Amino acid sequence: MIKQSTGDSGWVVRTSAKENAQLRIICFAHAGGGSAAFAGWSQNLPQNVEVCAVRLPGREARILQQPFADIDKLMPSLTEALIDCCAPPFVLFGHSMGALIAFEYARRLREAGGPMPDHLVVSGRMAPQLIHNRPIIHDLPDAELLECLKELGGTPEDLLTDAHAMRLFMPGLRADFQLNETYAYRPEAPLDIPVTVFGGRSDPYVDAAGLSAWASQTTVPLTLRMFDGGHFFLHSAREEFLGELSRVLCRVTDPAAETVAS
């Protein structure tokens, strides 16, 4: 049985508290996303898996807290906050900006000599060593930033049109994009854990080549899965995506399941 997280710091939302869980998946959302991004996942993942969503400052119930705009400043607080979650076995998952955070968090765990995840699953982001290829938007005026958000998708329309809500939401959103856009990759040895990469076939900025480049970040052969849809394929192709993620998680708890799932 995995060690239970206290969950009282506000950083972790256990969307599926399972006392007899055999595996925990720790999830990091896209820019502007919070624990709601993983709502309902537990019903579509294996019953022995507990879903823990990371809620960064500036999100949801933490909306008034100061967000982090620099990944190096985020990591010490994040590492301390998640110490109770990282009892083996566990898996890290991140989408878009969350993929970058999950990757850097895995490297920090290695540096600290702490327990390592059994698997890293990254989604919707090209490999961290590649040069950022998206327009820089974190410092745009509010009106222009809102237009960019509409084009990107992933932000509910009712939120984008709610001026009061956006005034609260904007600082965390800008911080997220700044964190992602100003990230400076530092070469280190590849991780000695399996890495699975998911991407959308119609994502305008994250193509198969950018996803395949994650291979240099692991000593284990990379697994790449593509889905129909754009950057937020995990919503538009939700059933297929969660099915593939379930197969990854089943192989962590039962390596023999790889033959059955394939």
**What is the DSSP annotation of 57-121?**
TTSGGGTTSPPP--HHHHHHHHHHHTTTT-PSSEEEEEETHHHHHHHHHHHHHHHHT-PPPSEEE
Q: Percent of the chain scored above 90 by pLDDT?
A: 67
Give me the sign of the Cα torsion angle 93, 173, 228, 52: positive
DSSP state of 204: S
DSSP string, 112-135: HT-PPPSEEEEES---TTSPP-SP
pLDDT at position 143 is 81
Residue 122 CA, distance from chain mean position = 7
Comparing CA positions, the residue from 53, 126, 132, 46 lying closest to residue 93 is 53
Residue 140 CA, distance from chain mean position = 24
Average pLDDT over residues 220-246: 96
Average pLDDT over residues 121-148: 87
Residue 58, token pair as written in the block: 């500036």
Confidence of residue 6 (pLDDT cuts 50, 70, 90): very low
Average pLDDT over residues 241-246: 98
Is the whole-model pTM more than 0.85? yes
pLDDT at position 154 is 65
Comparing CA positions, the residue from 73, 28, 68, 20 lying closest to residue 52 is 28
DSSP state of 164: H
Pairing mode, strands 119-123 and 90-95:
parallel
- Active site members: 96
pLDDT at position 203 is 94
Comparing CA positions, the residue from 79, 119, 86 lying closest to residue 101 is 79
d(C-alpha 172, C-alpha 178), whole Å: 10
